[in-house]
Amino acid sequence: MQDLLELARRMMGRAHAPYSKFHVGAALRADDGSIHGGCNVENAAYPQGTCAEAGAIAAMVAAGRTRIVECLVIGPGPDLITPCGGCRQKLREFARDDLPIHLCGPDGPVRTVTLGELFPMSFGPHHLAKP
């Protein structure tokens, strides 16, 4: 998990958050062991920004991977930072309910939960599978 934490910290430092000043970093491990990072990128047209998790997912997909096996999210604290609802759905597209998500503050991991705990009864790719 240390490699994910280091990447997420680096990503958090690169966040573009001139409006909220709330910098978030994320790092994912794909099923081949590769890691991919992202940071939040705000925009003056507020809903047009992107979350750190979305950026990490885009980097993973751009690298040719489609399965997440571990996720780490870091924020400035002191409160526990969790993926927003939209990012929970985005993670679900590429991960199973048992995906470990490490929630971190500036000093490192605070708690680990599964995607299923954060997003119970989620709608996923299997719902769209043709019989």
Q: Which residues are catalytic?
A: 53
Bridge partners of 38?
A: 26
Q: Give the span between the Cα atoms of 39 and 41, in whole angstroms.
A: 6
Indicate the residue type of 127: H
Indicate the residue type of 66: T
How far does CA 117 lie from the centroid of its chain? 15
Q: Are 53 and 38 in contact (CB under 8 A)?
A: yes
Residue among 101, 116, 40 nearest 69 (CA)? 101
- What are the b/e assignments for 94-121, b being 16+ CB within 10 Å? bbeeebbbbbbbeeeebeeeebeebbee
